[in-house]
């Protein structure tokens, strides 16, 4: 018999706690992104992220999770997600994704942004804009009565119409007392498929898109995923709650 995977429904009180945690995470990310400039190492960005998490009296979400060694995921250029901070120093023209999570009062929140370092190529700038709008496009479909396939289809259709590709082997996810909960939320799919979206669900939408082929490979650090063809990637993520018939972002991308 195949086990039925359960999507947890959060209470109003739990969502209020997650809203508080999401606000803290968004503030941390806003402060962190101000440190992103040519010459800073990705390892230093991780140090800043940890300092900010402790400053706001939150707990680390990523460090130690499935062996991941850092508080912050830093993915540069062709690395899509889960890049491990290193001695690499950012330079003009790089594209960098910052993915950060915290645990606050027993609940997780998770978000990601992509930035261009200084002056970037026009195509890189457009890739970032499309990834960000893909998140907003998916968000519009996050309503009770819709399905997660509706979200997936909207993201895929928008991205591909812009001439880019969605990563098909990685996905968004539910979130709450665990960092990764049901359901898995793909960035491609068919309308009307997958679980129905219901009041009280909390999940992370995270379009991951590439300028080239959608195929990926494991990075040498053993944690990151990068484009197989070496093309640029971009990634945005927000934690979202379904409240009073609407999708309410808990981690507002400032």
> Over the range 27-63, which residues count as b (16 or more CB within 10 Å of their CB) and which as e?
bbbebbbeebeeeeebbebbebbeebbeebebbbbbb
Helix (H) or strand (E) holding 159: helix 148-161
R_g over Cα of the chain: 17
Q: Which residue has 């023209």 as its token pair?
A: 93
**Contact 52/31 with Cβ under 8 angstroms?**
yes
Q: What is the pLDDT of residues 139-190, one digit of tens each?
A: 999 999 999 999 999 999 999 999 999 999 999 999 999 999 999 999 999 9
Dump the DSSP string for 105-147. Answer: TTEEEEEEEEEE-SS--HHHHHHHHHHHHHHHHHHHT-STTSB
What is residue 253's predicted lDDT score, i.e. its pLDDT?
Answer: 65
Q: What is the pTM of this model?
A: 0.95
Contact 184, 148 (CB under 8 A): no
Give me the chain's average pLDDT, please. Answer: 96
| Span 7-47, pLDDT tens digits | 999 999 999 999 999 999 999 999 999 999 999 999 999 99
Architecture of domain 12-249: Alpha-Beta Complex (3.90)
Residue spans of the domains in the chain: they are: 12-249
The tokens describing 196, both together, are: 């129905």
Of 114, 58, 121, whose CA–CA distance to 81 is shortest? Answer: 114
């Amino acid at each position: 018999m195949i086990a039925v995977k359960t999507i947890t429904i959060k209470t109003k009180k739990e969502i209020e706690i997650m809203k508080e945690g999401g606000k803290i995470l968004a503030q941390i990310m806003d402060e962190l992104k101000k440190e992103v400039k040519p010459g800073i190492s990705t390892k230093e960005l991780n140090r800043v992220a940890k300092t900010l998490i402790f400053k706001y009296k939150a707990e680390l979400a990523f460090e130690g999770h499935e062996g991941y060694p850092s508080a912050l995921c830093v993915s540069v250029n062709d690395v899509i997600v889960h890049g491990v901070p290193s001695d690499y120093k950012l330079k003009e023209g790089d594209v960098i994704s910052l993915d950060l999570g915290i645990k606050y009062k027993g609940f997780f929140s998770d978000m990601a942004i992509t930035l261009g370092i200084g002056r970037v190529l026009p195509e890189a700038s457009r890739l970032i804009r499309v990834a960000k709008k893909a998140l907003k496009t998916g968000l519009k479909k996050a309503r009770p009565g819709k399905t997660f396939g509706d979200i997936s289809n909207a993201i895929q259709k928008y991205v591909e119409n812009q001439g880019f590709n969605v990563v098909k082997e990685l996905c968004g996810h539910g979130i709450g007392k665990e960092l990764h909960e049901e359901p898995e939320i793909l960035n491609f799919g068919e309308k009307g498929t997958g679980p129905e979206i219901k009041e009280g669900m909390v999940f992370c939408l995270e379009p991951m898109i590439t300028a080239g082929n959608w195929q990926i490979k494991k990075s040498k650090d053993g944690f990151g995923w990068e484009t197989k063809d070496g093309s640029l990637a971009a990634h945005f993520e927000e934690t979202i709650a379904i409240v009073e018939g609407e999708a309410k972002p808990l981690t507002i991308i400032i």
